[in-house]
Amino acid sequence: MPIESDIAVVGGGPGGYVAAIRATQLGARVVLIERGDLGGTCTNVGCIPSKALLESAGRVISLGDMGEFGIDVSGFTTNWAQVQARREQIVKRSRGAVESLVKNNGITLIRGTAAFTAPRRLQVAKTEGGIEEVTAKNVVIATGSTEARPPIEGMDLPGVMTSREALSIQAAPQSIVIVGGGYIGVEFATIFRAFGAEVTIVEMLPALVPLEDPDLGRALAASYQKWGIGIKLGTRVGRIAQAEGGFEVTLVSEAGEERVRTQHVLVAVGRYPYTDGLGLDRIGVEMDRRTIKTDDHMRTNLEGVYAVGDVVGKYPLAHVASTQGEVAVENALGHEVEMSYRAIPEVIFCHPQIAVTGMTEAKAKEAGYDVQVGRYPFSAVPKAAAAGHTDGFIKIVSERRYGQVLGIHMIGAGVTDLVAEGVLGINLETTVEDFAATIHAHPTLPEGIREAVLASAGRAIHILNRRR
């Protein structure tokens, strides 16, 4: 006899397990199917372990600046084995927390690989052996994504890493070429450079973090170059070959070919939705190339079948997947909820950090707004000066007629926390006047947000305003 449920969720990552928990809160009988570790990529081989390594890297970077603060830490050493042990401990703890939540919410967990036999019927090849049939009134697909591997000669050579292997590398690299200057690439550049590696980033497009505001990419490139990281923009990898001590990487740009010797190669060119083996073609789920097409209720073209997270191709972010998961099950259980993409926070834990939400200057102009832009440097924020973190700036995009704030783009220490104020402000359609009327504590970093908003209207207090 098949297991019957109100909601069956395929995939136990941040989209899937959150959807399952929210469905149980609404009184549904829930089956969660996961073939690997609960928590998905984010918890096990993505967000959490990378941030653990980045935290260790951040401590090393801070020690390098201690002389300025009158503290002598010369001669300190690092222990990569302990760095990795801490990462493993944090991942284990995070995964255990998800497992506990699933169990204590009364969710039926099936370990195995699912495939559709009908729109609301699944066959699960169980990890421990055997087949389980699951029927559900509604199904949520939350199978996530996997690492992209571009068609580069030598890509499959032993030792050419993706982010998954790089997280658990057993010794800190002496040198590494990172293929891809997006968020994954620049975060690993921060980790490995902090521990002394000679790092080269290769990016096909003309800027680092090319999906973000170009001003951020330029600022990050300048900071990385000062730090000794090699930046190759407008450059592609033509070939990877084995060489003594590692690899020889052939780089191709308008200037011609260049060969770089390196101990390691990390390919970090992004991820693509994972739907292999689900049987979506069998049941007729409408696709857009690799992604599953959904509306803003997270519904597919089939009644009772929903999709969330990386498989829908909107934003490959854990917090977006989680929100989509909640939206999907609430709609499946009779509520009327839409997913809003007005103010999605995007955070990159490079050095210095990047955080953005809302429209870029270019997107706002494309949308027809009469745009005004304000910039405020962290060097003019007293708390940043006291902390020794004066690199970077806050850029505000607003529209001139009503003063509505449309986008906030930041690079600097601590901005991944500051962005929450911008998300709330944009979601509430906050104006320049609203920010002006909001008292920000002194001395704190968020003062810079208020000043940047004021600068967009030519009213900043602590810097000279541009003539308008």
> Which positions are annotated as active-site residues?
442
For 237, what's the count of Cα atoms within 13 Å in the CB-facing half-sphere? 29
Amino acid at 313: G
Could you give the residue ranges of the DSSP H alpha helices within 211-337?
214-226, 280-283, 318-332
**Other Cβ atoms closer than 10 A to 351:** 22
* Distance, CA of 320 to CA of 313 (rounded, Å): 11
Region for 144 from its dihedrals, namely left if φ exceeds 0, alpha if ψ lies in -120 to 50, beta otherwise? left
* Distance, CA of 308 to CA of 327 (rounded, Å): 9
* Distance, CA of 74 to CA of 45 (rounded, Å): 34
Q: Kindly give the interhelix angle for 47-64 and 183-194, rounded to the nearest 10 degrees.
A: 40
SS3 26: coil
User: Which residue shows structure tokens 């809003």?
Assistant: 340
Nearest to 141 by CA among 1, 283, 24: 283
Report the residue count for the chain.
Answer: 468
Q: Who contacts 81 (Cβ-Cβ below 8 Å, separation ≥6)? A: none
Query: Quick one: how far is CA 408 from the chain centroid?
Result: 17
Element (H, E) at 32: strand 30-34
349 burial class (0-12, 13-18, 19+ CB within 10 angstroms)?
buried
Contact 430, 404 (CB under 8 A): yes
Amino acid at 100: S
Give DSSP secondary structure letters for 353-379: -EEEEE--HHHHHHTT--EEEEEEEGG
Q: Residue 410 corresponds to which tokens in the numbers above?
A: 């930041």
**Other Cβ atoms closer than 10 A to 322:** 23
* Distance, CA of 316 to CA of 43 (rounded, Å): 14
